[in-house]
Chain A
Amino acid sequence: NAGVTQTPKFQVLKTGQSMTLQCAQDMNHEYMSWYRQDPGMGLRLIHYSVGAGITDQGEVPNGYNVSRSTTEDFPLRLLSAAPSQTSVYFCASSRKTPGSGNTIYFGEGSWLTVV
């Protein structure tokens, strides 16, 4: 009953450090995406993937890289962390079936602080 699993849950980074937020889903969902949540702004899309080997940019992609080598995993990489990347990050997944508006499932969130 895992659903969408994100790690780590909390992380403190120094400016300039790199790190990877991990995301895994066990529902065989084709779609996966990363959002960031900042106070008063709701969630904004960073990157998304419509299937293994396919990724694309969302609304706020700068400073982040992604890859999708398997259906299950969709890691988010911060190459050189900046204080502006202090945020809560959510990974999400859903099925690809068109026209059905499938429910989008979220992980529990990863709290990242860049000092």
Chain B
Amino acid sequence: AQKVTQAQTEISVVEKEDVTLDCVYETRDTTYYLFWYKQPPSGELVFLIRRNSFDEQNEISGRYSWNFQKSTSSFNFTITASQVVDSAVYFCALSEDTGRRALTFGSGTRLQVQP
């Protein structure tokens, strides 16, 4: 069975601080996909990134960066120079390659960025 663990329930930082959100996953599949979604206070789910299991390259998109390490089954998300608009709940999720194309979500990390 697949499982995604986000051990950090809530993180509070002051604007301009860097913050890393942890994600640890479990799967027996050799091919799988990892996602990060942002859920702002308005409630919608905003897609941030998808990474497949064969691509361990780290990715940077503006202030966002992701570190994928298969050896530790982790897919961590770092926000550099955080801003108040980054305040949201962030979900890490895992998808199998075939079958349901469904996501197994972590429980989410609530990030509060104080001005």
List A residues at the B interface (Cβ < 8 Å): 31, 33, 35, 40-45, 48, 50, 56, 58, 88, 90, 92, 94, 96, 98-99, 101-106, 108-109, 111
Contacts and interface: CB of A to CB of B under 8 A. Distances in A.
Interface of B: 4, 9, 31, 33, 35, 37, 43-45, 47, 50, 52, 91, 93, 95, 97-98, 100-103, 105-108
17 contacts: A31-B100, A31-B101, A33-B102, A35-B105, A40-B107, A40-B108, A41-B107, A42-B4, A42-B93, A42-B106, A58-B100, A88-B43, A90-B45, A101-B50, A106-B44, A106-B45, A108-B43
A50 B93 CA distance: 20
A40 B109 CA distance: 9
A41 B104 CA distance: 11
A51 B98 CA distance: 14
Contacts, number: 68
A50 B45 CA distance: 22
B100 A43 contact: no
B38 to A, nearest CB: 11
A54 B102 CA distance: 15
Contacts of A111: 43
